[in-house]
Amino acid sequence: MRRVVPPSPLSWTCEGGIAYPAMIGIFDSGLGGLSVARAVRALLPGHDLIYLADSAYCPYGPLAPEVVRARALACATWLVAQGAGVVVVACNTATSAAIETLRARLSVPVVGMEPGLKPAVAATRSGRIAVLATSGTLGGERFQRLRERFAHGAEVITVACPAMVQLVEDGELDGPRARAVVAACVESLGARGVDTLVLGCTHFPPLRPLIAESAPGATIIDTGPAVAAQTARVAAAARIGPGDGIVRCATTGDPALVAPSLARVWGAPLPLERARC
């Protein structure tokens, strides 16, 4: 199997114990992974980040796992070629389909993520949990294993919410239409006794205020901060040190079309380049 090697040793190695400012590479199908990038930035403000939105292939949720795997490999390879010294798969769907392949094929450490079922089981008092995720994540073997391992005694209701993914891609984080879309996915769960919601898709944290509004009193679990903490540990072990605190963004789609939504999801405009991968 061919492994992908970063282009310049200076961008990632640590000779004589010196940490070089390699970038932390982060990708998702689209803009959802910015919720993870934000958590990474909060923890490591001096590190350089490079974020890739695979907008040309978004959404990943309905795609066959082998297509998602191929896209994940293309995105991660592109990030490594740009000088990423660690790759964060800021996407539950891509982790489910591709994490083993990425770890086998890349020469840099890879951080993945999965729905926070374990903390949800610890948090629930009613014993009913809802996992909001994509159909790809919910139908994957990885999620079945997670469920077998951690769901003991708790009832797990799964909800695929592709319309919420689209809201974030459209940069529509508020307003009557966004509120109605979120309510349609979430509102009935309270009446079913659900007291804990797992945000099992990185597109959902930007909609958290609307989700909380539609599920008053529910505990909401977002694994973004835990993934950021793991990224910080992995970056430190790989001796990736702070750089200039740069955030570089790229999309496989049309930057002019993606930029307005990216500015809304990130909370400020960021320069956006075209990635061909």
Could you say whether residue 58 binds ligand DGL (CB under 6 A)?
yes
91 is catalytic: yes
Q: Which of 92, 158, 223, 252 binds ligand DGL (CB under 6 A)?
A: 92
Q: Which stretch binds ligand DGL (CB under 6 A): 75-83, 185-193, 200-208, 269-277?
A: 200-208
* Cα separations in angstroms, 139 against 7, 89, 93: 37, 19, 10
Q: Which position among 202, 214, 251, 261 is part of the footprint of ligand DGL (CB under 6 A)?
A: 202
- Binds ligand DGL (CB under 6 A): choice among 203, 205, 206, 211: 203
Of 109-138, binders to ligand DGL (CB under 6 A) are 134, 137
Residues 230-249, interacting with ligand DGL (CB under 6 A): none
Q: Spot the catalytic one: 91, 161, 185, 277.
A: 91
Residue 161 annotated as catalytic? no
Regarding 88 and contact with ligand DGL (CB under 6 A), the answer is no
> Is residue 261 part of the contact set for ligand DGL (CB under 6 A)?
no
Is 60 one of the binding residues for ligand DGL (CB under 6 A)? yes
Q: Where along the sequence are the contacts to ligand DGL (CB under 6 A)?
A: 28-30, 32, 58-61, 91-93, 134, 137, 165, 201-203
Query: Active-site positions?
Result: 91, 201
